[in-house]
Amino acid sequence: MGRPSSYLPKIRTFDGSGFWKNAFAHQRGTLLRKVNVPDDQIKVLVDKAYHELPAPLRYEIETSGIKKEDLR
């Protein structure tokens, strides 16, 4: 534990819940496509609250390196 963290790659996080709260359904769909969610699941997931999404999907969204500018 005494080693510097320079050995570990820095994980950029995306504010998934902030984006989700302010996004329209088509913007949410674009985000889900970027993390390779199948289209049939996208139709179900876009209407859910962010905290209702499966934990592995939220983790993938937050650590995927996506920038808000990529979703415009």
| pLDDT tens readout for residues 49-68 | 999 999 999 999 998 888 88
Q: What share of the chain is helix, strand, coil (3-state, %, to 5)?
A: 60, 0, 40
pLDDT tens, residue by residue, 27-47: 999 999 999 999 999 999 999
Look up residue 8 and give its two tokens: 């570990």
Tens of pLDDT, residues 2-12: 555 555 565 66
Amino acid 55 reads A
Query: What's the rounded Cα separation, in Å, for the pair 60 and 66?
Result: 10
What's the pLDDT at 50?
A: 94
Predicted TM-score of the model (pTM):
0.78
Q: Pick the closest to residue 43 from 33, 55, 51 (CA basis).
A: 33
